[in-house]
Amino acid sequence: MNVAYFPGCSLHGMASEYDLSARLVCKHLGINLQEIEDWNCCGATAAHSLDHLLNVALGARNLNIVKEMHLDRVTAPCAGCFNRLKTASYEMRHNPRVAAEVEKLIIAPAPVEPEVTNLLQLLIEIKGIEAIARQVVKPLKGLKLAAYYGCLLTRPTKVVEFDASEQPISLDLLLNALGAETVIWGHKAECCGGGYAASETNIVLDLGGQVLDSAHAAGAEAIVVACPMCQINLDSRRGKIEADRGKKYDMPIIYFTQLMGLAYGYSPRQLGLSKLLLNPITLLKSKELV
């Protein structure tokens, strides 16, 4: 299977372990990821916040490169990048006025053909849960996980067309297929504070804190994420959140592709586990998984 790959700025930066583990796992499953050459930033929160058309134009340029690669699908592991690209594609497909204005900005036709799929969606909907389960050589038995989707993987439903909006199950099913147990909890698709990580950190402390507290109350031993913003927000602000709330939240925040790799027999080093601020190695050793 050949799919265009959009890593986005985070996967080339602070979330390199997500990039590493995603490529490893896709290769293992026979998915050939071809990185978009000369891709540009999706615009993240900044573009859609200040300039709607710019967000669509930035996405359009990337999607045109996908067309030049003669590929009909692009995948992005980052939920933010995925949502931005998908929204750009949706706007061009459904709003002729926006498509016309974007064509003026990019001096090229508006690319409506390529399908934009987030990595989790690609693995579950296109590869299939059975195919994922078949590759498991080391079931993640004994791990109690909170599957955390964040806000951009499942919303807005009419744009992303993926999973249930507020109580999704796709990541839970994937983790179960890897042999782990998943908890039922209320904040599985609540926002972590996203793009306010640096500019209004209090929002992250509040919303991210609610997520940590909710996962902890549900008895989760670790939180599994599919977005670099969620990962960094929950992992890096844990100390301040613990101080604010007077509780300990010792749960590592792990990328789902890293857990897939572990179940497929790859080593912690190959998966970049030690790059996470709270190293999950202690937890995994206690479960005899490494």
Partner 1 sequence: MPDSTKQVTQSYYKTYKLDNIDDSLKLELKEKCGIDIETCLECGKCTGGCSNTHIFDFTPRKIVQLIKMGQETRLYHLDALWTCVSCQLCVDRCPAGIDIARIIDFVREKAIKRGAEPTRSNVKMFHELMLDEINKTGRVGETVLMIKFNLKRGLYFENADLGRKLFFKGKLKLFIPGIKNIGQVRRMFNSNPVQREV
Q: If we measure between CA atoms, which residue out of 213, 221, 219 comes closest to residue 285?
A: 221
Site membership for partner 1, residue 173 (CB under 8 A): no
**Which one of the spans 125-133, 173-181, 190-198, 244-252 is the region binding partner 1 (CB under 8 A)?**
190-198
Instruction: Identify residues 225-284 at the interface with partner 1 (CB under 8 A).
Output: 236, 274-275, 277
Q: Who's near 190: CB < 8 A, 6+ residues apart? A: 151, 207, 210, 211, 214
The one among 34, 157, 267, 286 contacting partner 1 by CB under 8 A: 157
Q: Is the dihedral of CA 63, 67, 73, 74 positive or negative?
A: negative
Between 47 and 175, CB nearer to partner 1: 47
Q: How far is the CB of 106 from partner 1 (least distance, A)?
A: 7
Q: How far is the CB of 196 from partner 1 (least distance, A)?
A: 7
Between 70 and 158, CB nearer to partner 1: 158
* Angle (deg, nearest 10), helices 256-263 and 170-177: 20
In contact, 143 and 181? CB cutoff 8 Å: yes
Between 65 and 223, CB nearer to partner 1: 65
In contact, 12 and 19? CB cutoff 8 Å: yes
The one among 1, 46, 100, 243 contacting partner 1 by CB under 8 A: 46
The one among 88, 116, 124, 152 contacting partner 1 by CB under 8 A: 152
Q: 3-state DSSP call for residue 147? A: strand
The one among 18, 90, 148, 196 contacting partner 1 by CB under 8 A: 196
The one among 5, 33, 61, 214 contacting partner 1 by CB under 8 A: 61
> 220 to each of 11, 127, 143, 146, 172, how far by Cα in Å?
26, 28, 9, 5, 13
Between 155 and 180, CB nearer to partner 1: 155
Q: If we measure between CA atoms, which residue out of 275, 283, 228, 227 comes closest to residue 251?
A: 283
SS3 content of the chain, % helix, strand, coil (to 5): 50, 10, 40
Instruction: Identify residues 199-218 at the interface with partner 1 (CB under 8 A).
Output: 199-200, 203, 206-207
* Residue 94 one-letter amino acid: H
Going across the sheet that includes 115-118, the strands are 32-35, 2-5, 73-76, 115-118
Q: How far is the CB of 150 from partner 1 (least distance, A)?
A: 9
Q: 3-state DSSP call for residue 199? A: coil
Instruction: Identify residues 3-22 at the interface with partner 1 (CB under 8 A).
Output: 9-10, 12-14, 16
Q: How far is the CB of 129 from partner 1 (least distance, A)?
A: 25
In contact, 44 and 80? CB cutoff 8 Å: yes
The one among 193, 252, 261, 268 contacting partner 1 by CB under 8 A: 193
Instruction: Identify residues 99-128 at the interface with partner 1 (CB under 8 A).
Output: 104-107
In contact, 275 and 17? CB cutoff 8 Å: yes
For partner 1 (CB under 8 A), the number of binding residues is: 54
Residues binding partner 1 (CB under 8 A): 9-10, 12-14, 16, 38-41, 43-54, 57-58, 61, 95, 104-107, 151-152, 155-158, 165-166, 190-191, 193-196, 198-200, 203, 206-207, 236, 274-275, 277
